Structure 1
Amino acid sequence: MQVCSLDLGNDYVDKDDKPTGLGRIQPELYQQKAQESEDSSKNSGDKNCGRINFSLKYDYENECLLVNILRAVDLPAKDLCGTSDPYVKVYLLPDRKKFQTRVHRKMLNPTFNESFQFPVAYDELPVRKLHMSVFDFDRFSRHDMIGEVELDNLFELSDLSRETNIWRDIQYATSESVDLGEIMFSLCYLPTAGRLTLTVIKCRNLKAMDITGYSDPYVKVSLICDGRRLKKKKTSIKKNTLNPTYNEAIIFDIPPDSMDHVSLHISVMDYDLVGHNEIIGVMRLGCHAEGLGRDHWNEMLAYPRKPIAHWHPLLEQPVPDLAQSSFPSTVP
């Protein structure tokens, strides 16, 4: 499919946009029976985020780490009714494969008792990190993050030959510290024609959103002016990959005198045939953006008619919902 002014028409509907080298390991140094380890570390600031109980065991026969999310206690209330709808996401970093527990409705002391298997060689465990993010499910908006727990050294407590029971304080966090991947694209602006071309080249190391360990990513680009979304365009969907290649051009007509008033919001999405499409990560471009998003934009303006390509890290924070523009604007 040749893509120019990319429009997927009625054949593709974004459901979310409807209205509405290791040294020798010495396990004997860590040997102990199943235990409950109390971590007295303080939560950030005065935020009480509760505690989480889980167990770890290494399966030598199948070469995998068994993680059992048991329960959480004293979670903060996130809903107006004084409760939360908690669930837990589990990662074994640096892999981005994610497991997720079921949501427990209206509970501050949920019992999960859900087990997950992470394929990993025993000798790799010292360089792996177990990361757990606790969320409050929200049916109508972005899920609120309650906090997170990360274990840097999985041999700190035991050699994991026996099931080890662990308690940890949930550390306050507002966004997941898990790497979401990167996107590479080029920008080219033609002042005389008032035309901006953003060519989505590829992404790499995207976070896995499906239970298969992959995602079905596509890229959505929104043109924003004065806080309102004027236009939205999308790439094609790439199936079962965390490193998609697109090479698809997205074109917007923007007069030169409007360039200081517009921005581009880029969202890498995971397509879901049945449920809602999920945001993998986002970034923002424009003269009022931050960091590389601003620098790339200014470089494009400084070198007109020349495609400028850069890699950009994806952020967890989603772009706020923006109303469709219905007011007169200098941007077509």
Structure 2
Amino acid sequence: MQRPHPPEDFSLKETSPHLGGGGISGDKLTSTYDLVEQMQYLYIRVVKAKDLPAKDVTGSCDPYVEVKLGNYKGTTRHFEKKTNPEWNQVFAFSKERIQSSFIEVVVKDKDLVKDDFIGRVMFDLNEIPKRVPPDSPLAPQWYRLEDRKGDKIKGELMLAVWMGTQADEAFPEAWHSDAAAVSSDGVSNIRSKVYLSPKLWYVRVNGRYPEVYVKAIHGNQALRTRISQSRSINPMWNEDLMFVAAEPFEEHLVLSVEDRVAPNKDEVLGRCVIPLQNMNRRLDHKAVNTRWFNLEKHIVVDGEKKKDTKFASRIHLRICLDGGYHVLDESTHYSSDLRPTAKQLWRSSIGVLELGVLSAQGLMPMKTKDGRGTTDAYCVAKYGQKWVRTRTIIDSFAPKWNEQYTWEVYDPCTVITIGVFDNCHLHGADKNGGSKDARIGKVRIRLSTLETDRVYTHSYPLLVLHSSGVKKMGEIQLAVRFTCSSLINMLHIYSHPLLPKMHYLHPLSVTQLDSLRHQATQIVSMRLSRAEPPLRKEVVEYMLDVDSHMWSMRRSKANFFRIMGVLSGMIAVCKWFDQICHWKNPLTTVLIHVLFLILVLYPELILPTIFLYLFLIGVWYYRWRPRHPPHMDTQLSHADKVHPDELDEEFDTFPTSRPSDIVRMRYDRLRSVAGRIQTVVGDLATQGERLQSLLSWRDPRATALFVIFCLITAIVLYVTPFQVVALLTGFYVLRHPRFRHKLPSVPLNFFRRLPARTDSML
């Protein structure tokens, strides 16, 4: 009999790692590596060589250096026909993996058949000096080469050898023993790296003063105005076209004025190329000066496009770089930065965020190598404009990174995102560039949920939703600390609007923001993919939640139950009040009568009582305040009990690639769900329209009754003290069940009989 599998543990676990190797020293923005476990490394910096002996028949050599420590071996690049080469490469060997008492640094000559031995330098590990950052860097020295017998020979090698930690400045660019199996082509892919998102600007183009329209192109973005309504030789548009551009501005803005001479046939009347670096930079809503630009006419001669020397025309434009907006490239729910583009508008920072990426446990095999499952994991963290990437740990299901990174914080209501990926570009496996780094999981932490100056050490579950269901891919252990430099400044931030002023003074439409966000994510992913090592497109898009706007039945259910969860408190209060009105608990109802009587006789106590009650509730809940950062919740996301077909629909391509019968079934299901939503929205609209019809005379008898009722009520309220009215109303609402009728009340019956606009709908 097969034993049932134990349920997967998706919970967040608090951990107690052995953090730090040194206290906090110096500037808080300087990484002190006190949020990670200290790891010892043996560093060898190979600088250069001189006077190397010739090995080839040509009288020269093709030298490279091989650093060997036990079973681990690292090699530098080789130079052709050079006896005085300069490498300046660093090798790092983890102290945990040292299996020898000696380091051997060998200089070899690259050959087609067998590489020739030139000379070597040996070091005893017991004599290696220790260096603790922030000590000054260890100066390299010249060492005379020896032959295999230990005799001095011609040639010298400049080296520096020391024991250090991962806080050493040589650590990010070093070759690591963790990557001993990686080919020379893949070494750059395993290094840790810090990236900066390009500074993004909104470009606003406003054209002023046949069927003529203007088409504007910037990079892969293309927009066009409407056809001018002024059918003359001086057409006008007065339309804004918005683009996203990244500094440094590599691509020009291209404007062309075109005439629609026939359906699907346009004739270019003129074009101009505008360099963006020369444009005005706007910080507020004030209009910038307009300029006239010459339009160049192009003619085709012998199949080639040539510029016509004749003057074509001019176009009147207002072009500016809008620095007062924040260019959205992330999901608005998980923004890590809300500052405007222009640095002049930035407020001072309020603190520092420090992240220690410690280790991972229980990672799943992501690919197959030599007939067995393996994973080459690395982490990416994104906050603000700064992206960081840890080094890749080769072939390990429990990698240890122990790398620490620091960010300035300008707004506490922001989110840092940490993703774990499998490196699929090692071992020369991606010759054609077709493979993608696989997702292992993602963690989001909102800074406003963290207490200041507290170190949070937790093991977060790495969850990924596949077409087969939610799957736990392992756990990642992080250390997080949010340090506040000024509590007053941070509290003052809560009174400011979330986005810069321009988003409220001259708001962009939702459609425009969605289009601009798509353009921004494309630009960021393209720029970061060109870095070395590249941060690939699939990684950037996963971190920026590019697909979060796509339809999902699972997400729709989750959002519906989130709304019900929010309303559950109000529903519970209504049920409690209904029980009081129906005297389910007579003692509670009598106490409510007494409280009600006091508040009516002393109305000045109503507001203080409400706020005192809210204060007491807040103090009462302090005992159950959250002690851990939020994490991915499978139940909240409805990922643990989702139907397989709904998952298949969520992971379907756009447009769909499924057979027509499946698409028909899903379409019918979507119509059913949309029909229920449509009914609810229609009911809400009906209630609102009934309120409007009270005074609209759509039903003249009902409006007449309501107007007379209002007149009588006004007279009664004028001559009757407020306390008497409140007492009578309250006692009527709280009356005993024997005085109640099961039929609906008169006001409710009257309201339900009011007309709505449903009668006019087809």
Higher relative contact order (CA 8 A, sep 6+): 1
Give the number of the structure whose residues are more often helix, by fraction. 2
Same fold (TM over 0.5): no
> Which interval holds the TM-score relative to the shorter structure?
0.3 to 0.5
Larger gyration radius, structure 1 or structure 2: 2
Give the number of the structure whose residues are more often strand, by fraction. 1
